[in-house]
Structure 1
């Protein structure tokens, strides 16, 4: 399946990250989430303002494409790479667009500061650096993102579709995808078996 060259975060995301709000938090889907695309999803909210929100799903491994295959499609060297990062399906919006969520020890022009210690980069420069053995200490590549229009995420939170959890490096970069949902809830001292669609925490 052909992939497009990663580009900067599109203006259609409608985000001014300086406004803050829940930027940098993790959204954890409630067990009653009706949308199958987000069942048990954990999303890093990279930007949130009155104009909308944009986030990256952390725990949906990308099937059928390796980092090495992606480098070949983008004509990036070296192949095989000196270093590899994992790939995830970052969300249903523009899933031909690549984003690297990473530790902020490496940044380039256009990198978006998500929170202290975490940045988002949508430039092929970061893929070149990683393939060459450098780049950020932690990170992964997401194809696509999750997006919300003005007020949409706030409405979903009010309807108890999501919990919000402070992000930390382990949840962002080290937790196994199949355990991340429970580990994020555990940070809130929440037992998934006791959750219902009528009680939430935002």
Structure 2
């Protein structure tokens, strides 16, 4: 088996040629990536469902917009919590916080079964996702070869963007290469 270089913690940004409507202009944060496959959440798909409607105890910690995001097309009946713990991760603490598991840098998964008050003093933001995006062994690598995704570095603010509908353009615009130009790609190129 070929060794896979992990993309955990990086962003997959859908290219304009990606035809799957589940991922049209999607920005996906990879939570796990290895030889067994990949798992991530779409950061820019808010739903009309409020966090308080489904996970009331966590509503007070959710950042605006305080809605559940569709994390992907897999397991829409399950919820994942992502949160940012500010400061230098790992400098002040030896490991993960109780109820929070580091994914990359200051970004981590929240145990939604834990009492929210346990994490409240440590979290700077929380976002709740229904479902996730998943790829089997080699599937994501094939999609990358086919040009379906741009792979770029994530920033902690991506998880809690106050304007998720603008995230695709914002992530591309901050790149220091030709990808910044892709941010200007029209929603419907046939109208050009």
The verdict on a shared fold, with TM-score over 0.5 as the criterion, is: yes
Q: Deviations over 1:13-44 (max 9, x none)?
A: xxxxxx86100000000011110000000000
More strand by share: 2
Deviation at 1:104, TM superposition (A): 3.3
Distance in 2 of aligned mates of 1:108 and 1:58: 24
- Provide the secondary structure at the position in 1 that maps to 2:6: coil
Q: Deviations over 1:71-107 (max 9, x none)?
A: 35xxx59xxx544443211011111111111113583
RMSD over equivalenced CA pairs, Å? 2.6
Unaligned runs of 5+ in 1: 1-18, 196-202
Deviation at 1:175, TM superposition (A): 4.9
Tell me if the contact between 1:100 and 1:142 (Cα under 8 Å) persists in the aligned partners: yes
Q: Please state if 1:108 is matched with 2:98.
A: yes
Q: Match of 1:192?
A: 182
Unaligned runs of 5+ in 2: 87-95, 186-192
User: Residues 181 and 163 (structure 1 numbering): CA distance in 2 closer, same or farther, change over 3 Å?
Assistant: same
TM-score normalised by the chain length of structure 2:
0.76
Distance in 1 of aligned mates of 2:11 and 2:170: 12
Distance in 1 of aligned mates of 2:153 and 2:183: 21
Segments of 4+ moved more than 4 angstroms: 132-135
Q: Match of 2:139?
A: 152
